[in-house]
Each structure stands twice: as structure tokens, then as C-alpha cells.
Amino acid sequence: MRSSHPAVQSARRLETARRLEGIRRSDPVLRSRQVGTRAWALARAVPVDGEALTVILAVLADDEAETGTSPTTWTSARVVDVVWRACPLWGLRHGVAIPRAATDALRVWWARLDDEGGFGPGSDELAALEETLATHTGRSSVAAASRHPSVTGGSATRAASGQHDPSP
């Protein structure tokens, strides 16, 4: 049974942060992608959780090493594979829980690729990827963005993902 005591939760967060920092430092390509994506997000006022972004980019790096699939090539089938196979396996291998914000970080990665024309050959349209992710996680980008405290109504994340706010 997991303890909900604040001291235990704090110790777990600290241990996760240490593990992720070690992973970041050991992989210069991962670090470059992470720094570039955080800079891209900051320049556009798009919120992104640094730990969640590190996890997503590390999952993609491991997946690339195992399957040869570029982290810039995305199909709906790959979304399902990353969410249901690659993320849980990576978490088990590294002893790190996949953050709830991982899907939001993945959307930021996609928004950056879309903005920079960086989607690889054979990739599906961003809208199809978003729909697949929402279907398989139960979290639309609108719902995920609206939960972020630094964004009023989540408009920055929706704008980054190419979605428009249907609310008044």
C-alpha cells in the first residue's frame, strides 16, 4: 500500500527527480530535445511539465533504439503503442512512475513538430493524433489544458495544438 503521508510523497518526488536528472545528463540527444522543446514552449507561453517532458522524450529515445522509429514520425497506431506499451515498459525499467502530465507533454512535442514542420514522413495529421490520444487516455487537450493553473481556460495549449476554444 502506498503511503499518502506528505513526507513520503516528497521523498518519492525527490527520488524521481534524481533519476530523471541522471537520465537527462546521460543522453545528450535527449537533453538537446528537452531543452529545445522547453525553449519552444516558453517562447509561446505554452506550459509544459519538465519531468513529464523528460519522461516522454526518454520513452521516445528508447523506442527509437528498440524499433528504429523516429521520435518525429507519428501515426495513430504509434500513439496507442507509445501510450500502452512503451510508456509503461519504460517506467518499469527505470523505476519511475509515468507522470499524469505525460500526455500533455506529448502534445507539446507534437505542437513543436507541427510548428517547425518537423513531423517525419508518413506521419498522420495532428488532429488525428490528438483524437487517438484523447480516445485512448480519456483526456482531450482542451480538458488537460484547462487543468493547468497558469493558463486561463487552457487557451495557450489549445492554440499550440491547433485547436480552438469552442466555449464563449
Q: Give per-residue pLDDT as tens, 83-118.
A: 999 999 998 988 888 888 999 999 999 999 999 999
168 domain residue, yes or no: no
Q: Is the pTM above the cut of 0.85?
A: no
The HSE-up count of residue 14 (CA atoms within 13 Å, CB side) is: 6
102 domain residue, yes or no: yes
Q: Which long-range contacts (CB under 8 A, 24 or more apart) does 139-147 make?
A: 139/103, 141/104, 141/107, 142/166, 144/103, 144/104, 144/107, 145/104
93 domain residue, yes or no: yes
111 domain residue, yes or no: yes
Tell me the pLDDT of the chain averaged across its residues.
78
What's residue 159's pLDDT? Answer: 38
Contact 18, 93 (CB under 8 A): no
Q: Which helix (H) or strand (E) holds 140?
A: none
What's residue 23's pLDDT? Answer: 67
166 domain residue, yes or no: no
Contact 136, 80 (CB under 8 A): yes
What's residue 97's pLDDT? Answer: 86
| Tally of structural domains, the chain | 1
What's residue 163's pLDDT? Answer: 40
82 contacts: CB under 8 Å, gap ≥ 6: 59, 60, 63, 106
Task: Provide the residue range defining the domain that includes 134.
Answer: 6-161
* pLDDT tens digit sequence for 148-168: 333 323 333 333 444 433 333
